[in-house]
């Protein structure tokens, strides 16, 4: 394996961090400590981490409603992320954004949105800004199979190709738009086939394989930096949890089988990467367990920090909502 150990360690740490973070979030929802929607990223960790490992800190990403994994994969602060989920003033958006609105411009995280497909035009705008400024920053926009049917998605891809912009459209095809399988709503065999209509490369990749994700994203990044325009990547992956926590309480009927779920769990992205690192003699099982313990401490610390942080003050309600100062 050509990649250096530091990079491989970073990738493993970030995948483990996302998994532990999301498991903690599940517990908070079930214990009614976290109020509101929470869309967990468990099972999809290799997609965001593999892609973000191919980026620089000053490159941009945009995300969607399943929004905890992307910022962590880009190097976000888990303390700020956890505090934001619990509505605390020390969170990324001072406790006012919640689960679906994590942003950190300092490391290129332009934010997420609960409006399906809405971040894709934002990514195109950021890519246009990079081109106008004459820098070589690229943008990766994460979106799901459901969002691939939104008009904003197709408008964004079309415009990015017309203007030859450095943007990577990364579709996380986790098979289901809430409860609807993608084959029921997509007219082509692969979502990546749609790239042909916009005169850009379309790549289908195993989203459970972090190294495959890293390699295809690295190639797309090089293409964008060199002025060759956008790329559409479809990562075939799977979410192990429901669309959102507590969805199972209102489901009227099953939409996927236990056999299907277990089949995908046989290809857990973290387990696959662990096995690869051990097989290549890069890490021993003991070293991986030690890393996992360290990650657990980090996430536990983030939870403690969030719980002990204050809620926003009542007088801060309108702060950051309008132009500053407010017009008379």
Among 65-74, 285-294, 312-321, which stretch is predicted with the lowest mean pLDDT?
Answer: 312-321
Q: Percentage of the chain surpassing pLDDT 70?
A: 97
pLDDT of 1 over the 70 cut = no
User: Domain locations in the chain?
Assistant: 5-240+255-309
Among 49-53, 106-110, 162-166, 253-257, which stretch is predicted with the lowest mean pLDDT?
Answer: 253-257
pLDDT of residue 193: 98
CA separation for the pair 68, 72 (Å, rounded): 7
pLDDT of residue 316: 86
pLDDT of residue 254: 87
Distance of CA 93 to the CA centre of its chain: 18
Q: Which residue has the tokens 């994203």?
A: 217
pLDDT of residue 320: 82
pLDDT of residue 26: 94
pLDDT of 243 over the 80 cut = yes
pLDDT of 281 over the 70 cut = yes
Close Cβ partners of 119 (under 8 Å, ≥ 6 residues apart): 62, 63, 64, 110, 111, 112, 113, 141, 142, 143
pLDDT of residue 215: 98
pLDDT of residue 244: 86
Mean pLDDT across 246-257: 77
Question: Which backbone phi and psi does 91 adopt, to 5 degrees?
Answer: -75, 170
pLDDT of residue 278: 96
Mean pLDDT across 54-58: 97
Residue 318's pLDDT band (cuts 50, 70, 90): confident
Residue 294: C-alpha distances to residues 14, 27, 42 (Å): 12, 20, 19
Pick the CATH number of 5-240+255-309 from 3.90.1150.10, 3.30.70.2860, 1.20.210.10, 3.40.50.970: 3.40.50.970
Residue 201's pLDDT band (cuts 50, 70, 90): very high
Mean pLDDT across 126-135: 96
CA separation for the pair 212, 261 (Å, rounded): 22
pTM of the complete model beyond 0.85: yes
pLDDT of 248 over the 80 cut = no
Please check whether residue 116 is in contact with residue 65, taking contact to mean a CB–CB distance below 8 angstroms. yes
pLDDT of 89 over the 70 cut = yes
Please write the tens of the pLDDT for every residue from 206-224: 999 999 999 999 999 999 9
pLDDT of residue 328: 60
Among 2-11, 147-156, 175-184, 250-259, which stretch is predicted with the lowest mean pLDDT?
Answer: 250-259
Please check whether residue 99 is in contact with residue 91, taking contact to mean a CB–CB distance below 8 angstroms. no
Mean pLDDT of the chain: 94
Residue 253's pLDDT band (cuts 50, 70, 90): confident
Where does 53-150 have alpha helices with state H?
69-73, 78-85, 119-133
What are all long-range contacts of 21-29, with beta carbons under 8 Å and residues at least 24 apart? 21/68, 21/72, 21/78, 21/81, 21/82, 21/299, 21/302, 22/68, 22/69, 22/241, 24/82, 24/299, 24/303, 25/68, 25/85, 25/99, 25/245, 26/241, 26/245, 28/85, 28/86, 29/245, 29/246
| Buried-exposed string 140-158: b where 16+ CB fall within 10 A, e elsewhere | bbbbbbbbbbbebbbebbe
CA max distance for the chain? 67
């Amino acid at each position: 394996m050509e990649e250096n150990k530091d990079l491989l360690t970073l990738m493993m740490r970030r995948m483990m961090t996302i998994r532990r973070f999301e498991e903690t979030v599940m517990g908070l929802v079930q214990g009614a400590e976290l109020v509101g929607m929470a869309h967990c990223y468990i099972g999809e960790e290799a997609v965001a981490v593999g892609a973000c490992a191919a980026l620089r800190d000053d490159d941009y990403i945009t995300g969607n409603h399943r929004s905890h994994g992307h910022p962590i994969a880009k190097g976000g602060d888990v303390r700020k992320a956890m505090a934001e989920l619990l509505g605390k003033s020390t969170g990324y958006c001072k406790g006012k954004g919640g689960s679906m609105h994590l942003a950190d411009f300092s490391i290129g995280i332009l934010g997420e949105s609960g409006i399906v497909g809405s971040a894709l035009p934002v990514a195109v705008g950021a890519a246009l800004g990079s081109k106008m400024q004459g820098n070589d920053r690229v943008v990766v926009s994460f979106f799901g199979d459901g969002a691939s049917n939104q008009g904003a998605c197709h408008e964004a891809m079309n415009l990015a190709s017309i203007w030859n912009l450095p943007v990577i459209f990364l579709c996380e095809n986790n098979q289901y738009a809430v409860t609807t399988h993608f084959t029921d709503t997509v007219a082509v065999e692969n979502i990546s086939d749609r790239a042909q209509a916009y005169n850009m490369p379309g790549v289908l990749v195993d989203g459970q394989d972090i190294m495959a994700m890293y390699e295809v994203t690295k190639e797309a990044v090089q293409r964008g930096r060199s002025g060759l325009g956008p790329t559409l990547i479809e990562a075939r992956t799977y979410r192990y949890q429901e669309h959102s926590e507590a969805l199972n309480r209102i489901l009227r009927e099953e939409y996927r089988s236990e056999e299907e779920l277990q089949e995908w769990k046989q290809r857990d992205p973290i387990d696959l990467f662990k096995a690869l690192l051990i097989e290549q003699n890069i890490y021993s099982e003991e070293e991986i367990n030690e890393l996992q313990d360290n990650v657990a401490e980090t996430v536990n610390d983030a939870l403690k920090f969030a719980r002990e942080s204050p809620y926003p003050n009542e007088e801060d309600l309108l702060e950051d909502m309008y132009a500053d100062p407010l017009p008379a």
